Amino acid sequence: MKKLFLTAAATVILSGAYFFGTQPQAIAQTEESSVIDLSELALSGQEYYNSTCAVCHGVNLVGTNQGPPFLNRVYAAGHHSDMAFVLAVKLGTRAHHFRFGPMSAIEGISDEQIGAIITYIREVQAANGF
Ligand code: HEC
């Protein structure tokens, strides 16, 4: 937990100057997301993502006015580890990078489903240069 806080603090310091003051709308939707051949695990993750995350984070990770896009260097693996994704889903998160407000914990999702979702997100991020 302590380590996570340090990581989060470092992320805020590193990205804060760049992102604070940016209107969420300005980064809310990236224009496009490259469509790629997904692995089998990522394909199942895509299904779970589309039914539980896309309403806020956007189909193809492009974001909506309810939540940030994952095609953003803030959410690349170097800034937000896979564990940060697990914790966001299990515990929810406060608004700290943008101004969309907090995210509630997502109920009724298994560790396997979260793992598949992360695999999906990482594959699409990689295909889009993040
Ligand atoms: C009801 C809207 C909503 C849903 C549904 C949702 N999120 Fe979020 N999510 C948000 C908002 C809002 C934030 C906060 C962004 C900020 O300001 O930092 C966020 C942040 C995150 C973060 C970043 C956490 C951090 O440490 O900065 C991750 C990772 C994440 N969401 C993953 C997911 C995944 C995976 C799903 C689906 C299982 C999901 N979210 C579903 C709205 C949502």
Pocket test for ligand 1, best of 103, 104, 118 (most atoms within 8 A of CB): 103
- Of 113, 120, 63, 57, give the one whose Cα is nearest residue 90: 113
Give the CA angle between residues 126, 101, 120 to the nearest 5°.
Answer: 20
Q: Does any domain span residue 119?
A: yes
Q: Does any domain span residue 120?
A: yes
CA of 70 to the centre of ligand 1 (A): 9
Q: Does any domain span residue 30?
A: no
Instruction: Check pocket membership of 122 for ligand 1, CB cut-off 6 A.
Output: no
Instruction: Check pocket membership of 80 for ligand 1, CB cut-off 6 A.
Output: yes
| pTM of the complete model | 0.81
Q: How far apart are CA 25 and CA 108, in angstroms?
A: 30
Domain with 44 in it: 2-20+38-127
Q: How far apart are CA 40 and CA 102, in angstroms?
A: 31
Q: Does any domain span residue 95?
A: yes
Instruction: Check pocket membership of 70 for ligand 1, CB cut-off 6 A.
Output: no
Q: How far apart are CA 92 and CA 86, in angstroms?
A: 9
The enclosing domain of 74 has a CATH number of 1.10.760.10
Q: Does any domain span residue 29?
A: no
Q: Does any domain span residue 32?
A: no
Q: Does any domain span residue 27?
A: no
Q: How far apart are CA 15 and CA 120, in angstroms?
A: 24
- Domains in the chain, number: 1
Q: One digit per residue, pLDDT tens: the chain, 130 residues?
A: 334 443 333 333 334 334 443 333 334 455 566 667 899 999 999 999 999 999 999 999 999 999 999 999 999 999 999 999 999 999 999 998 899 999 999 999 999 999 999 999 999 999 999 9
Q: Does any domain span residue 100?
A: yes
